[in-house]
Structures are given as C-alpha cells and as structure tokens.
Amino acid sequence: MMRTAYLVALKDLRIELRSRVLLWQVLPFGLMALVLCGLAVGPDARQQSRIAPGLFYLVVTLVALLVINRSSQIESPRGTRTSLLTLGLDAGGVFLGKAAAMLVQLFATATALLFGTTVLLHVPVHAALVTLPIVLLATATLSAAGVLYGLVASSSSSSATLLPVLALPAFAPILIAGERSFSSLISAGSLSRWVLLLIFSLVAYGSIGVLLYGALEES
Amino acid sequence: MKKLTALILGPVALVTTLITLWMGYFVTPADKVQGELARLVYIHPAQAWVALYLSFGTATLASALYLWPRTRSVTADRIAAAAVEVSTVFIALTLITGSIWGRPTWGVWWVWDARLTSTAVLGVLMLGYLALRRANDDPLLRARRSAVFAILTAINVPIVHFSVVWWKTLHQGATVFTDNRHLKIHGSMAWTLLLSFIALSLDFAWLVRARYRVGSVSAANESADLEAALEARRTEAGA
C-alpha cells in the first residue's frame, strides 16, 4: 500500500511540477482572495488582525477546492481511470498517494498565504509561525476529505459546480477548528479540543478513504 | 404483511399526528414562563429527532447495505434516497420552527448557535446528496457514489456537532434526557411530547415508503420507455 501511495504521490507531484498550475493560477487566486478580504473588512488594522484567522482559513478552504478539482482532473481524460484500475494498484494506496500529493500542494500554498496574512492583515509573526503545525494538520484533513469528495463529484459533467456543494459543508468543522486554534494562539487561549477535532476528522476521513476509495474507483 | 403495512401505516400516522396536534393545542396548558410559544415543543424536538437521527440512521444503514456486496440491492439505494429526501424536508421544518421560537425568545430569526448552525450545515449536506443523485444518469454510478457520500455525511454528523457545540452555543439543554435523569416536563405535556415523537416517526416511515414507491414506479417507467424506444427502432430497421 505504501509503495503504491509513494508512486501515485510522485506521479501527481510531477504533473504539478510540469504544469505549474499551483504556482501560476492557484497561489495568485489565494493571494487575490486575501487582498479582497482585506478590502472588504476595511483599513482598520485591529479589526483586520482580529478576524485574520477566519479569513485565512476561508481562503485556504477556497484554494482547497481548486486543488481538489485539479487533482481529480488529472484522471479525467477518457480511459485514464480504467487504465489505473487495470494496473491492479491497491485502492487504499492510491487514496493515500493522492492525499499526500494534495497535502504537499495545499500546505505549500497555505504557508505562502500565512505569510500574506502577516503582511496584509497584521497577524503577529510568532503566532503565524507557531500555528504552522496546526495548518499542516488542517491541510492534511482537507486533503483526505478532498480526495474523496473530488472523486464523488468527478463522475458528473457538472463536477466543477457540484464539488463545492458537496465539500464546503463538510469543510465547515475544519474551518472552525483551524480558525479557533489560530485565534487561541494569538490570544493565548486553549486549543487542545480544536486540535483533537482536527485529529479525529483526519483519522475518520483517512480510514473511510482507505476502506471506500476502491468502491468509488470501480464505479 | 406488506399490504397490511401499506393499508394501515398512512391512516395510523395521520391519526397520531392529529391527536398530537389536538393535545398540543387544546389539552396541554400554556407554559408558566414562555406562554403559548412553548407549544412548539410538541413539534420541534420531534422534527429534529426525525431529521437528524431517524433519517440519517436509515440513510446510512441503507447505504452501508448497498456498499456491502452481499446485501447490495436497488431497494437499499432507493430507501437511502427516500430517507434523505424526507430528511431534507424535516431539516427545513426544524429550522423554520426553531426560527419561529427564536424570534420572540432571542429577539432574532437566526443566531450563530451550535444546534442551528450544525442543523443548517447538515441540511446543506443533504442538498448536496440530492444534487449528486441528479447529476448522474447512470443508475449504478449514482447509487454507489451516493452511498459513499451518505457514509461520509454520517461521519460528519459527530464532527459537525462537536465543532459547533465547542464553538458557540445558546440553545437550551435537553428537556427529557437531562444529565441528572430528572424530567423537566410532566403530566399531559410529557405525554404529548412523547406522542409527537411517535407521530412524526410514523409520518417519516409513511413518507419514506411513499417516496420509495414513487422511485420504483418512475424507474419502471424509464425502463419501459427505453424498451418501447428500442422496439420502435427494431421495427423501423425491419421495415
């Protein structure tokens, strides 16, 4: 399973490295969304700093939708999925591989956006640095859930519009947990329950993905 | 047995619902603090029970049965779809009746309360399920992907619940199943509340059964239409 995961992750990342969609399309979209959030809130630096964690996770969630869509599009050309199926790869491994590749892309984008948040929305640099492990956990959860929702939506001709409808409500708890933990770090509050919620979500999506990805692929 | 259920389920559900309404409006007294507004307790908690537990449970169980190769059947898929459709209606009713209670009590139609938010999020997930079913024409693809989505939604129920409960809550605590096992409701009010749970559960069963039958009939019609079209083509080719 791990060997399959490694190969699939490597394949997805190589495709990304060659196409550079993340660098030239997804990242600029995220930064633009962050700038627009700043404009919508107004020039009050204290107000911006207060709601920055929520805006940051909102933008990360929107960026995640693009990354998920991109990841499921890789297998969209006719016959690609069938070819993958005939290879007899372990379905759980394929799921883990796709999730790992998505995690690398999402975490890289989120880190860049976090830097943007410190500059544009006046978040203290130390809080942004300390929150990085939680961002990693949140993006891992988004990736595990995203691979599943991406595949569920991919069968339809209207997958680009269907994906947000399916995934955004499921991402709400991740957004809340991420925002609360980031705010707790800024205001020195307790964040253990939010980290626990993210870990539980990651384990739940990871287990369901390993178990059910095969059933989804076959359909 | 099936015919008997079909015959008695609808009338029994209707009569139980009417008795609940009669008891709620005319037998039970107004609440000391909330007055007439408290009568919503005879409908709102039972709606939430059907929307969030009974229908989610039915949809998840039916979806799991569909995904398990030994128990896979079109019946399980149709029951899951019917349960989700009915659940969506009950979620909307739960939010509407909650809002009607919230306006005079909290002063606003909507607050970012834990239960309201989690119910709304689950309602949107249910709409997603229905959108997913309509987005796929192939029945096998539709059934399998919907089943996986229903399972994903089921694991979301506790996640959404805890996230919003920890986030912010304003909603009142449990009335019947309190932590110290002391009932906060008594006499005719308690009996009417209990009856409302039975009545709405029966309504749910009746609606799911009706929706299941509509699904079966429309699937049969679709295949009959297809057969007729194929037959017409064969006749054309023969002529």
Question: Hey, what domains does chain B have and what are their CATH numbers?
Answer: 13-214 (1.20.120)
Handedness of CA B158, B159, B161, B167 (dihedral sign): positive
pLDDT digits (tens, 9 = 90+) for B123-135: 999 999 999 988 8
A22/B25 Cα distance (integer angstroms): 61
pLDDT of res. B183: 64
Q: What percent of chain B has pLDDT over 70?
A: 88
Q: Which amino acid would we find at residue B51?
A: A
B159 lies within 8 A of chain A by CB: yes
3-state secondary structure of A158: coil
What value does the mean pLDDT take over residues B195-206?
A: 92
Q: Return the higher-pLDDT residue of A140 and B7.
A: A140
Tokens of B202: 């029966």
pLDDT of res. B80: 94
DSSP B27: I
What value does the mean pLDDT take over residues B155-169?
A: 71
| Among A61, A72, A166, A207, the residue to mutate for chain B (most B Cβ within 10 A) | A166
- Minimal Cα–Cα distance from A17 to chain B, Å? 31
pLDDT tier at B62 (50, 70, 90 boundaries)? very high
A54 lies within 8 A of chain B by CB: no
Statement: residue B173 has pLDDT above 60: no
Q: What are phi and psi of A124, to 5 degrees?
A: -60, 140
Statement: residue B170 has pLDDT above 70: no
- Other beta carbons within 10 angstroms of residue B57's beta carbon come to 14
DSSP A23: I
pLDDT tier at A107 (50, 70, 90 boundaries)? very high
pLDDT of res. A192: 80
3-state secondary structure of A210: helix
3-state secondary structure of B35: strand
pLDDT tier at B5 (50, 70, 90 boundaries)? confident
pLDDT digits (tens, 9 = 90+) for A122-136: 888 888 898 899 999
- Other beta carbons within 10 angstroms of residue B94's beta carbon come to 26
What value does the mean pLDDT take over residues A85-103?
A: 86
Q: Cβ separation of B148 and A166 shorter than 8 Å?
A: no
pLDDT of res. A217: 75
pLDDT of res. B191: 86
What value does the mean pLDDT take over residues A78-92?
A: 75
Mutual angle of helices A159-187 and B139-167, in 10-degree steps: 20
Handedness of CA A143, A147, A148, A149 (dihedral sign): positive
A39/B183 Cα distance (integer angstroms): 52
CB burial readout A96-129, b (16+ within 10 A) else e: bbbbbbbbbbbbebbebbbebbbebbbbeeebbe
Which residue from A167, A137, A134, A138 is spatially nearest to A150, judged by alpha carbons? A167
- Minimal Cα–Cα distance from B187 to chain A, Å? 40
B51/B198 Cα distance (integer angstroms): 14
Statement: residue A109 has pLDDT above 90: yes
- Minimal Cα–Cα distance from A138 to chain B, Å? 14
What value does the mean pLDDT take over residues B192-217?
A: 91
Most trustworthy range by pLDDT among A106-120, B103-117, B152-166: A106-120
Lowest-pLDDT range, A130-139, A200-209, B188-197?
B188-197
Q: Return the higher-pLDDT residue of B96 and B159.
A: B96
pLDDT of res. B86: 93
pLDDT of res. B180: 61
Residue B128 CA, distance from chain mean position? 15
3-state secondary structure of B31: strand
Which residue from A97, A104, A86 is spatially nearest to A16, judged by alpha carbons? A104
Q: What percent of chain A has pLDDT over 90?
A: 33
Statement: residue A184 has pLDDT above 70: yes
pLDDT of res. B38: 80
Statement: residue A104 has pLDDT above 90: yes
* DSSP per position, A29-81: HHHHHHHHHHHHH-S-HHHHHHHHHHHHHHHHHHHHHHHHHHHHHTT-STTHH
pLDDT of res. A101: 93
Tokens of A51: 């709601």
Which residue from B177, B186, B196, B169 is spatially nearest to B97, judged by alpha carbons? B196
pLDDT digits (tens, 9 = 90+) for B36-45: 788 888 888 8
pLDDT of res. B177: 57
For residues B61 and B108, the answer to whether their CB atoms sit within 8 Å is no
For residues B199 and B190, the answer to whether their CB atoms sit within 8 Å is no
- Minimal Cα–Cα distance from B126 to chain A, Å? 9
Which residue from A52, A67, A59 is spatially nearest to A33, judged by alpha carbons? A59
Tokens of B135: 């987005």
pLDDT of res. A145: 93
**Per-chain mean pLDDT for chain B:** 84
Contacts of B126 in chain A (CB under 8 A): none
Tell me, letter by letter, the H, E, C secondary structure of B170-234.
Answer: CCCCCCCCCCCCCCCCCHHHHHHHHHHHHHHHHHHHHHHHHHHHHHHHHHHHHHHHHHHHHHHHH
Q: Which amino acid would we find at residue B198?
A: I
What value does the mean pLDDT take over residues B7-28?
A: 88
Residue A150 CA, distance from chain mean position? 11
**Per-chain mean pLDDT for chain A:** 87
Residues 133-162 on A with a CB inside 8 Å of B are 145, 148-149, 152-153, 155-159, 162
Measuring CA to CA, how many Å separate B39 from each of A116, B23, B24, B28, B46?
52, 10, 6, 8, 12
Statement: residue B140 has pLDDT above 70: yes
H/E stretch holding B30 reads none
For residues A165 and B131, the answer to whether their CB atoms sit within 8 Å is yes
| Among B122, B127, B163, B166, the residue to mutate for chain A (most A Cβ within 10 A) | B163
pLDDT digits (tens, 9 = 90+) for A51-73: 899 999 999 999 999 999 888 88
pLDDT of res. A73: 81
Statement: residue B204 has pLDDT above 90: yes
For residues B176 and B193, the answer to whether their CB atoms sit within 8 Å is yes
* DSSP per position, A99-138: HHHHHHHHHHHHHHHHHHHHHHS---HHHHHHTHHHHHHH
pLDDT of res. B179: 57
